[in-house]
Amino acid sequence: MAGTKSAERRIRRQRRHIRVRKKMRGTSERPRLVVFRSLRNMEGQLVDDDRGVTLLGLSTLSAPEKVTGETDDEMSTKVAAAWRAGFTLAERAKEAGIERVVFDRAGFRYHGRVKAFADGARAGGLEF
């Protein structure tokens, strides 16, 4: 693996994701909740792998007044914004009739913002 340290880290994460995706599959009854963590934002998507479509998606960039909170003091950290994004995604999924999901951490460690996103989704009513 030639390249920078960050490129090697990205490649290792992608390999972990591929390895896990071989065993994990989302259906229309129980879609896959896949998360993506960038340096500044979190994204979550509900994916039906049988049909190959994204049922619902949300990012900390979309609908900033809903995802990041009413004021800057409420959701000043990225972890808090990730929790709120998970909660909002769960609310929208419940409106669409989705209650159970399979959680796909996409090769990221299950701590920090990824864990906060999952905890927010659970608090919003999703079961996984």
Each residue's pLDDT tens digit, 98-114: 999 999 999 999 999 99
59-116 pLDDT, tens digit each: 988 755 555 555 455 556 899 999 999 999 999 999 999 999 999 999 999 999 999 9
Structure tokens at 10: 């990205």
- Cβ atoms of 121 and 110 within 8 Å: the answer is no
Q: For residue 102, with 0-12 CB atoms within 10 Å meaning exposed, 13-18 middle and 19 or more buried, which class applies?
A: middle
Residue with tokens 């509900």: 46
Rounded-to-integer distance, Cα 83 and Cα 86, Å: 5
What integer best gives the mean pLDDT of the chain?
88
d(CA 63, CA 88): 10
* All structural domains of the chain: 5-123 (3.30.420.100)
Its pTM stands at 0.85
Q: At residue 1, does pLDDT exceed 60?
A: no
